[in-house]
């Protein structure tokens, strides 16, 4: 996993220096920008971490920057900071998907705690996406017939029932099941179903049939 970076976007030089020093003391990597435009100029889609955004800045403010990042499918957790923490602004921030809203002057211990929570959330999200990509790569190794048999088996159908439905022998279905396990690197279809759940991938039976218990 990449080393996470806390990105602070704030036009106040004093705030940038103080927060950067605080996070550095806490052992956290931090990069600062004095404007949203400066940050977007160096934006990278795969950067891990979280964002600390000042609400009110010359040019593009924190909320507009957050909207632009959402448009770019940047899912890093966002923490807003502002000296003007009125209720409507806070509510709006939460509605746009911000993780938290901190009012300046920000308590140092609270900021570090919130940042650590945001970094952990980002780590979990990226881990889930990595598992999903890995699982999809495993499924891509299967032939169309193997995927058909896999879906039917995970819907609870026995090899005999699958063979009857597809017009093939029991032995042929069992051979395909063995190939499925070999190609996906698991010991049983139950284990494969567990990996699918962990990766957040829903496996369904062909033709939209309901899901059932996995058959090992």
Cβ neighbours of 44 (radius 10 Å): 7
What pTM does this model have? Answer: 0.70
User: Using one digit for the tens of pLDDT, what is the confidence trace for 6-37?
Assistant: 999 999 999 999 999 999 999 999 999 999 99
Domains of the chain listed by start with CATH number:
5-129 (3.40.50.2300), 141-208 (1.10.10.10)
What does each C-alpha distance from 100 to 103, 118, 137 come to in angstroms?
Answer: 10, 9, 35
Cβ neighbours of 76 (radius 10 Å): 21
Cβ neighbours of 79 (radius 10 Å): 23
CA angle 17, 57, 113 (to 5 degrees): 50
Dig out the tokens for 66 from the structure: 């957050």
Binned at pLDDT 50, 70 and 90, residue 216 comes out as very low
Residue reference for tokens 């896999």: 150
- Whole-number mean pLDDT of the chain? 87
Rounded to an integer, the average pLDDT of 76-97 is 79
């Amino acid at each position: 996993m990449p080393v996470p970076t806390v990105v602070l976007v704030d036009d106040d030089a004093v705030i940038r220096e103080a927060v950067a020093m605080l996070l550095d003391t806490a052992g956290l990597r931090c990069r600062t920008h004095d404007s949203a435009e400066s940050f977007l100029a160096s934006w990278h889609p795969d950067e891990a971490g979280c964002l600390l955004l000042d609400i009110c800045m010359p040019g593009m403010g924190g909320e507009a920057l957050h909207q632009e990042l959402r448009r770019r499918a940047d899912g890093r957790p966002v923490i807003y900071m502002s000296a003007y923490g009125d209720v409507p602004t806070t509510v709006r921030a939460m509605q746009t998907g911000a993780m938290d809203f901190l009012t300046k002057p920000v308590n140092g211990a609270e900021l570090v705690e919130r940042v650590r929570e945001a970094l952990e959330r980002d780590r979990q999200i990226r881990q889930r996406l990595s598992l999903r990509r890995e699982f999809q790569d495993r499924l891509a190794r299967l032939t169309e017939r193997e995927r058909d048999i896999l879906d039917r088996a995970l819907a609870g159908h026995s090899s005999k029932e699958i063979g009857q439905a597809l017009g093939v022998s029991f032995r042929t279905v069992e051979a395909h099941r063995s190939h499925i396990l070999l190609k996906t690197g698991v010991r049983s279809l139950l284990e494969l179903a567990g990996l699918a759940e962990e990766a957040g991938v829903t496996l369904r039976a062909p033709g939209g049939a309901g899901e059932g218990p996995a058959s090992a």
